Structure 1
Amino acid sequence: MKYGSGNFFSLPNEIFLLGLNAGELAVYSFLRRCENRKTHQCWPSVKTIGQAVRMSENTVRKYIHQLEERGLIVSEPTTVTTKSSGRRNGNLLFTLSPIGEVIDEYYGQQMAVLEQTSARQRAQRKAEKSGVEFVPSVRDQGA
């Protein structure tokens, strides 16, 4: 197979800091491959993504949803006008978020968890010094 110049895409190193699973990474990588570098948008079909990364359409949809929850992508439905002036659903339009913003949000969430843990530990130490039993709130027990 012969490859021409420009037959590559870049993947930001920071993507590996986010703890993506293999499926999320595969779908995100394919979207990066397809994206317009100026608009950061692409519109491959779920079927095309699935064929490229060897996953079922339902599995691709699951990973798209997870990438949206992580803030890496935004998807919007599109419509297509047929020759007979009918309207049909088109492919999803994917917009890939700037990785710097995603990393900042990720670290912000990590800091919030750390601050909550630190506050809980301070409260526990203060309660122990006062001879009071420390009982974490129901909200704190899930963290």
Structure 2
Amino acid sequence: MLWQYTKRDSVKNFFPLPNEIFSLGLSSGALAVYSYLLYCEDRKTYQCWPSYGSIGKAVRMSVNTVRKYVADLEERGLVVTESTSVTTRDGRKRNGTLRYTILPIQNAVDLHNQHQLRRLEETTEQMQVAKKLVASKEHPA
């Protein structure tokens, strides 16, 4: 036999990725960044502190690209970021990395559904206006 099946430890080598994430229309880049944040998160506090550089290295993206996808994840209600600060040995305060809090996926699903409903209402309204415009051109007063 050329290969041998080794049993995987289901607790140590995996992290959960919610099924609903695929219904939100995320780009592959946003999905990669979100997945990495889930990989890093503390499962008790739902928080993690990777730098843009660390995320970029892990998912093979530039810092600016990571920043763009983090903003997208925040806008979609998947994560919240907070600035942190560190004190150096000589007592100076410096900016730290962002603290990411992973939000419950249901919040993002609800927000996504609200946006879709709003777009549908806008499209319906546009179609009604277009219909009235065509009718007014056909039958001028």
Q: TM-score range by the shorter chain?
A: 0.7 to 0.9
Which of 62, 65, 72 is residue 71 of structure 2 equivalent to?
65
Does 1:56 pair with 2:62?
A: yes
SS in 1 for 2:43: coil
Which of 105, 109, 129 is residue 99 of structure 1 equivalent to?
105
Q: Using a 3 Å threshold, how does the CA distance of structure 1 residues 36 and 119 change in structure 2: closer, same or farther?
A: same
- How does the TM-score come out when normalised to structure 2? 0.81
Match of 1:86 in 2: 92
- How does the TM-score come out when normalised to structure 1? 0.80
Say what the alpha-carbon RMSD is for the aligned residues.
Answer: 2.1
Which of 1, 18, 26 is residue 12 of structure 1 equivalent to?
18
Does 1:132 pair with 2:140?
A: no
TM-superposed deviation, 1:133: 3.6
2:64 partner letter: N
Measure the CA separation in 2 of the matches of 1:36 and 1:108.
30
SS in 1 for 2:120: helix
Which of 97, 101, 116 is residue 122 of structure 2 equivalent to?
116
Match of 2:4 in 1: none
1:3-58 CA distance string (max 9 Å, x none): 75422100001111111111111101000111122221111111111111111212
SS in 2 for 1:33: helix
TM-superposed deviation, 1:107: 0.4
Does 1:27 pair with 2:20?
A: no
Measure the CA separation in 2 of the matches of 1:40 and 1:74.
11
Measure the CA separation in 1 of the matches of 2:131 and 2:55.
52
Percent identity (aligned):
52
TM-superposed deviation, 1:125: 4.0
Q: How many residues align?
A: 131
2:85 partner letter: T
Match of 2:51 in 1: 45
TM-superposed deviation, 1:118: 2.0
- Asked if 1 retains the 8 angstrom alpha-carbon contact of 2:76 and 2:111, the reply is no
Unaligned runs of 5+ in 2: 1-7
